[in-house]
Amino acid sequence: MKNTPDMAPEHKRRPRYSGRNPRAFHDRYKELDPARYPSDVERVLASGKTPAGTHRPIMVSEVLDCLRPSPGELAVDCTLGGGGHARAILKRVQPAGRLIGLDVDPIELPRTEAALRSEGFGPEAFAAHRLNFGGLPKVLATEARADMILADLGVSSMQLDNPDRGFNYKEPGPLDMRMNPSRGQSASELITRLSEEELTSLLDENADEPHAELIARLLKRQPLETTHALERAVRIGLTSAHGDLANTDVKMSVRRTFQALRIAVNNELSSLDALLRSLPSCLAPRGRVVILTFHSGEDRRVKKAFQAGYREGLYSAVATEVIRSTMEETRANRRASSAKLRWAVRATA
């Protein structure tokens, strides 16, 4: 019914947080709307957790110490994500400096670009490209070589927390895991396509999973369409086969299974190899590179590539030890606990 001029306007009830125990993820977490629930966000942060749907950049101080951004320099953030690292770097390369941000995620990239634009970083200071970091040379083909390059190989909290993306089993969702949902195979389709032997190799190479053979057999027993179905298959199967396994060990195997599948779905290791090969030609003389890894397979690749580049004279210095997050940061952000930072400096020749 429409209002007439002599009628009072129809009352519209304002949106409200839907009860104590809402079922839907997008209604359940008040911190998804920090403007309305600031005290809830503060409570989550104080507990050492990351508010749902937000991303806390890891080891920002350490990244800046290694990259040493200065006004007028050209920086590349190969994994833009929520823009936390990019924001810190952009502030330090001003005035006259620029940052190029790459991200393959068509959902999160526009949001991050809009947020950085709203903070005053216009096209002259910041450019965003929807591209996997393996394509870095293509982006720099029309640019000068970069003074600094950053790659944070972790999955952003926005991706992890959103059950529609299928990266996490905290909430039920489709077993997808694609950074770009419009391309490639989902995790469910990958499991169906691969043989038991191929899944075993995948779990071993991508996650160093000690029960790779058993888990591969569990994954092939029945079609798996949801994150909860995958979690249950691994948890129940491991517990039945190894009654002496501690709950923490079972949970770690579940997490490693999700990690291994995500890496395979998005071809993350092959993209990392392509990035590592192209880095020396993309860096200006004395240019700095920092890579944050989150599991041993990634870290081994970075370590070996930097050491080989140093022996060949491509780098003048490389990290001899990994840098870890501080105890204070790890307590405040549990997702920082597995991060490893390695750096290298391009030689002058």
Which CATH number does the domain housing residue 225 bear? 1.10.150.170
Query: Is 80 exceeded by the pLDDT of residue 43?
Result: no
- Do the Cβ atoms of 44 and 31 come closer than 8 Å? yes
Give, in order, the Cα–Cα distances in Å from 164 to each of 24, 167, 211, 214, 225: 11, 8, 28, 28, 13
pLDDT at 107: 86
**246, 328: one domain:** no
**148, 219: one domain:** no
Domain assignment present for 152: yes
Tell me the mean pLDDT in the region 181-195.
94
Q: What is the CATH number of the domain that holds 85?
A: 3.40.50.150
pLDDT at 196: 97
- Do the Cβ atoms of 226 and 172 come closer than 8 Å? yes
Parent domain of 194: 180-265
Tell me the mean pLDDT in the region 201-230.
95
Residue ending a domain, among 214, 249, 265, is: 265
**71, 144: one domain:** yes
What span, in angstroms and rounded, lies between the C-alpha atoms of 195 and 256? Answer: 19
**146, 71: one domain:** yes
Domain assignment present for 13: no
**284, 336: one domain:** yes
What percentage of the chain's residues is helix, strand, coil (to nearest 5)?
45, 15, 40
Query: Is 90 exceeded by the pLDDT of residue 249?
Result: yes
**Largest alpha-carbon pair distance within the chain?**
85
- What residue has token string 């990994």? 322
Domain assignment present for 5: no
Binned at pLDDT 50, 70 and 90, residue 299 comes out as very high
Binned at pLDDT 50, 70 and 90, residue 36 comes out as low
pLDDT at 30: 46
Domain assignment present for 237: yes
**153, 185: one domain:** no
pLDDT at 78: 95
Residue ending a domain, among 244, 265, 286, is: 265
Tell me the mean pLDDT in the region 85-106.
95
Tell me the mean pLDDT in the region 310-329.
96
Tell me the mean pLDDT in the region 298-323.
97
pLDDT tens per residue, range 155-169? 777 777 788 888 888
What span, in angstroms and rounded, lies between the C-alpha atoms of 294 and 296? Answer: 7
Tell me the mean pLDDT in the region 50-69.
83
Domain assignment present for 252: yes
Query: Is 70 exceeded by the pLDDT of residue 11?
Result: no
Sign of the torsion formed by the C-alpha atoms of 282, 156, 326 and 263: negative
pLDDT at 54: 61
Tell me the mean pLDDT in the region 170-199.
93
pLDDT at 2: 47
Alpha helices of 194-295 — where are they, by DSSP H? 196-207, 212-219, 227-241, 247-265, 268-282
Among 96-100, 217-221, 266-270, the least confident range: 266-270
Query: Is 90 exceeded by the pLDDT of residue 110?
Result: yes
Query: Is 70 exceeded by the pLDDT of residue 181?
Result: yes
Domain assignment present for 1: no
Domain assignment present for 18: no
- Percentage of residues in the chain having pLDDT higher than 70: 84
Domain count, the chain: 2
**Average pLDDT for the chain:** 87
What span, in angstroms and rounded, lies between the C-alpha atoms of 292 and 197? Answer: 30
Query: Is 80 exceeded by the pLDDT of residue 87?
Result: yes
Query: Is 90 exceeded by the pLDDT of residue 179?
Result: no
Identify the DSSP state of 190.
Answer: H
**259, 342: one domain:** no
**260, 115: one domain:** no
**150, 76: one domain:** yes
Name 108's Cβ contacts closer than 8 Å, sequence gap at least 6.
Answer: 81, 82, 156, 158, 159
pLDDT at 71: 98
- Do the Cβ atoms of 173 and 182 come closer than 8 Å? no
Query: Which of 283, 293, 295 is CA-nearest to residue 345?
Result: 283
Query: Which of 285, 291, 310 is CA-nearest to residue 144?
Result: 285
- Percentage of residues in the chain having pLDDT higher than 90: 68
**261, 308: one domain:** no
Query: Is 60 exceeded by the pLDDT of residue 5?
Result: no
- Do the Cβ atoms of 345 and 317 come closer than 8 Å? yes
**141, 286: one domain:** yes
pLDDT at 44: 52
pLDDT at 134: 85
What span, in angstroms and rounded, lies between the C-alpha atoms of 337 and 330? Answer: 5
pLDDT tens per residue, range 275-289? 999 999 999 999 999
**152, 198: one domain:** no
Residue ending a domain, among 245, 265, 285, is: 265
What span, in angstroms and rounded, lies between the C-alpha atoms of 300 and 285? Answer: 25
